[in-house]
Amino acid sequence: MLSTILVPMDDSDQAGHALEYALENFPEADVTVLHVVGVPSMMMGDAVSLTLEDDLSDAAAGRAESVFDRAHEIADERDREITTVAGIGHPARNILNRAEEYDTIVLGSHGEDRDRATHRFLVGNVAETVSKRSPVPVTVVR
């Protein structure tokens, strides 16, 4: 039986579906939603702007707030509690660095669509990277 699940989430529909899947299929598990901010981009805008903040942790939590609000709505609809955590940096690396703390990872097949070609080039396919390198089982939800 799985007792801890990590659900990486961004603003995409697929990420929401992944959280729904985890909550519905693992009703007894503790679910943690991770949102990673400061993703590298062609102009390094998000990553650079984070470094200019006085308190990096507070800035990351603030940028993750809308994703966490959505995650809590999804959990509330299913009468479930979730834990949220904001990460900083590269999504796949952040997920993999936390993987051993969980029994499994449930994530969407692909993330948000913003400038897809550039995002894929610099960040890579997060679901593919995590599923290939994770030390724990990974479920990819479409």
Which pLDDT score is estimated for 108?
92
Q: What's the pTM?
A: 0.83
What residue segments make up the domains of the chain, in order of their start?
Answer: 4-141
Which pLDDT score is estimated for 110?
73
| Four-CA torsion 30, 24, 102, 62, nearest 10 degrees | -70
Residues (pLDDT < 70) of the chain are 38-59, 111-124
Residue 100, classified by CB atoms within 10 Å of its CB into exposed (0-12), middle (13-18) or buried (19+), is exposed
Pick the CATH number of 4-141 from 3.40.50.620, 3.40.50.450, 1.10.10.10, 3.40.50.300: 3.40.50.620
- Whole-angstrom CA distances from 16 to 57, 67, 79, 96, 129 are 24, 9, 16, 20, 20
